[in-house]
């Protein structure tokens, strides 16, 4: 049973999550583009919003790219300038810093939503569930740090990186790398994949709508007609 569950959650579930995310996101944008927004509550009350929002977004963006680079960089590349042990130390040190930045921001945002009557009144149950799922994922991520420190040789980091690289390159046997890893790592991965799965059905889609085009648009001037 353990082997079956391991094969499902770390060999099949990643592709289910990715397929649902891609297809669901495309369909939502095509069928319901006006729902493609974050529904900011800043207009209701800005107090406590700026610090919490900035800390949360800075932390989670750095965590995302840290995971992306850390998991998908081949050993042959980073071994040119650091060992596996050094890379793992860098990963859990930087991850801990970014994680706590995000944690503080999330606590501020969750507290604001739960204690401010005006914000609580406009908060959809689905939005609160997503926020709590992200918070749980963050806590699980921080909880992996002691386990990572218990393996200073970088063996766990190598196994998880191999799993991720096998998944994105569609190679068989990816789940075998995770089979003997600690439960905390497995829970962190499964919850992360679940967030990927529900991505198209939540406000998380606004991540794909960063207003990058405004950075490159030409200037314009508003002219009022006389009359």
The pLDDT tens digits for 141-166 are: 999 999 999 888 889 999 999 999 99
Q: What is the DSSP letter of 154?
A: S
Q: Which tokens hold the place of 64?
A: 């995302």
Res 92 pLDDT > 90: yes
Using only the alpha carbons of the chain, give its radius of gyration: 21
Map tokens 């071994």 to a residue. Answer: 79
Please give the model's pTM, rounded to 2 decimal places: 0.84
Report the b/e string of 122-148 with b at 16+ CB within 10 A. Answer: ebeeebeebbebbbebbebbbebbebb
**48 contacts: CB under 8 Å, gap ≥ 6:** 108, 111, 112, 116
- Please state the domain extents for the chain: 2-216
The CATH number of 2-216, from 1.20.950.20, 1.10.1740.10, 3.30.70.20, 1.10.10.10, is: 1.20.950.20
Which pLDDT value is given to residue 66?
Answer: 95
Instruction: Output 187 or 212, whichever has higher pLDDT.
Output: 187
Q: Positive or negative CA dihedral for 169, 172, 177, 183?
A: positive
């Amino acid at each position: 049973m353990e082997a079956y569950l391991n094969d499902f959650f770390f060999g099949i579930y990643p592709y289910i999550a990715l397929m649902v995310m891609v297809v669901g996101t495309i369909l939502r944008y095509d069928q319901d583009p006006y729902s493609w927004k974050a529904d900011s509550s800043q207009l209701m009350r800005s107090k406590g919003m700026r610090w919490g929002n900035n800390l949360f977004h800075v932390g989670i963006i750095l965590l995302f790219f840290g995971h992306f680079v850390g998991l998908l960089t081949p050993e042959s590349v980073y071994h040119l300038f650091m060992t596996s042990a050094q890379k793992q130390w860098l990963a859990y040190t930087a991850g801990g810093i970014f994680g706590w930045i995000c944690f503080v921001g999330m606590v501020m945002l969750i507290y604001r939503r739960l204690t401010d009557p005006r914000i609580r009144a406009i908060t959809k149950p689905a939005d609160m569930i997503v926020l709590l799922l992200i918070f749980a994922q963050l806590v699980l991520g921080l909880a992996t740090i002691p386990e990572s420190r218990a393996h200073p040789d970088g063996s766990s980091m190598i196994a998880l990186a191999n799993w991720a690289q096998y998944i994105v390159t569609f190679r068989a046997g990816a789940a075998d790398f995770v089979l003997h890893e600690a439960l905390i790592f497995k829970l962190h991965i499964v919850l992360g994949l679940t967030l990927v799965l529900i991505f198209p059905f939540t406000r998380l889609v606004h991540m794909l709508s960063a207003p990058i085009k405004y950075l490159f648009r030409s200037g314009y001037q508003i002219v009022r007609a006389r009359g």
